Amino acid sequence: MSQVQVEYSLPAGDGSERIARAWARVPLVPTPAQRAEQKARAAALLEEHGAVLVAHFYVDGDIQDLALETGGCVADSLEMARFGRDHPATTLVVAGVRFMGETAKILSPHKRILAPDLDATCSLDLGCPPDAFAAFCDANPDRTVVVYANTSAAVKARADWMVTSSCALAIVRHLAERGEKILWAPDRHLGAYIASETGADMLMWNGACVVHEEFKGIELELLRAEHPDARVLVHPEAPASVVAQAHVVGSTSQLLKAVIDGEASEYIIATDNGIFHRMAQLAPGKTLIEAPTAGSSATCKSCAHCPWMAMNDLAGVIDALEQGTGEILVSEPVRARALVPIERMLAFVKAHPESLVAPAHGFVPHLGSA
């Protein structure tokens, strides 16, 4: 088994930070025959165990296809949470990263939640340690604590609200209109985008996604010059210099909708390239171009793929169902406390469905060019 080392930002909550390192497993690439055999075996096990597969847009295409072919779900983190909660299956296999499985367990404590690889994590989660975050909250007791979904159960347990990129703007705008000051964690780029769009008073944790932070504004300008008619679609975890060039800013599901419904023939996409699998299926006539993550001299000019999302493979799905490996557990009272901000978000989204209807369009106001 091979591994890659990943560097990520580890803020301390007092304004300081350091570079930390974590490992990600690199799965073996099966042959076409092995892939077909694994897919058939995984499908049979899902049926045998009465389980449903819930997959994120960023995981391997084989897993996305398996989820859809067996009655499961391929979605962003908000819809994954709702689907897992509402589906009658008592066993959920959550293909994504660990916090997604934890969210499923928080919402459905009576269900068995399995992950293809328990070590599949997230730099935003790693970069927001519960103890340091708790101290940050304690030092700012006058602020409403809003955390992104990409956090541990323990961090969610300290929050007043949880949000996903689909609903973050609407919820923070709602809180700002009520005069509430926000303590935001963990993604500084998403936080800055929300603050610029809502005018909210936001105190930021200083985390970042190792994938989206690598998109380069200067390189995107050069790519746009090569494709002047292309629409630029950007996930708001990207830096401001990239967001400022977007025609559409939104969550993974919102970017997908923009490609499906859009009239352009070319799209430059600044998010994890795992989404290209589903985009190509749903918009087969469109040309999809990866936004650049590095300069022209780099070995990989467009290589935006989460090393932990990449750990999800068919072999892991099989092991989870056959051997019961990768079970996600969330202890009490952390689970009960973390449930409060999640249910608050879900109730808001249910009461305000229009908040999810459309991503932001046009070049984004309030942000300068690269």
Please determine whether the domains at 31-122+308-323 and 212-305 fall in the same fold group of CATH.
yes
Q: Do 269 and 290 meet the contact criterion of CB atoms below 8 Å apart?
A: yes
CA 145, CA 143: separation in Å to the nearest integer? 6
What are φ and ψ of residue 193, in 5° steps?
-65, -45
Residue 211's pLDDT is what? 95
Instruction: Return the CATH superfamily for domain 31-122+308-323.
Output: NadA-like (3.40.50.10800)
- pLDDT tens digit sequence for 8-42: 989 987 778 899 999 999 999 999 999 999 999 99
SS (H, E, C) 245-272: CCCEECCHHHHHHHHHHCCCCEEEEECC
Q: Which residues of the chain carry a pLDDT beneath 70?
A: 1, 295-302, 357-370
Class of domain 129-208+334-356: alpha beta
Predicted local distance difference test score (pLDDT) of residue 14: 76
| pLDDT value of position 223 | 96
User: Using only C-alpha atoms, what is the Rg of the chain?
Assistant: 20
What does the angle CA 269 – CA 273 – CA 279 come to, to the nearest 5 degrees? 70
**Residue 20: how many CB atoms within 10 A of its CB?**
14
Q: Of the candidates 175, 120, 177, 125, which has an alpha carbon nearest to the alpha carbon of residue 149?
A: 125
**What integer pLDDT is reported at residue 204 of this predicted model?**
97
Question: Which of 277, 226, 248, 206 shows the shortest CA–CA distance to 61?
Answer: 277
Question: Could you report the per-residue pLDDT of 258-267, keeping only the tens digit for each?
Answer: 999 999 999 9
Task: Name which of 217, 214, 222 is nearest 363 in CA terms.
Answer: 217
Q: Which CATH class is domain 212-305?
A: alpha beta
Distances (CA, A) of 230 to 128, 221, 226, 303: 36, 12, 9, 20
The residues near 234 (Cβ < 8 Å, ≥ 6 apart) are 215, 242, 243, 245, 246, 248, 249, 255, 270, 271, 291
Domain ranges of the chain: 31-122+308-323, 129-208+334-356, 212-305
Q: Which amino acid is at 330?
A: V
Confidence at residue 357, expressed as pLDDT on a 0 to 100 scale: 52
Q: Write the DSSP symbol of residue 337.
A: H
At position 362, the amino acid (one-letter code) is: G
State the amino acid at position 137 in one-letter form: C
Q: What distances in angstroms separate CA 347 from CA 138, 181, 253, 296, one per listed residue?
A: 27, 21, 20, 46
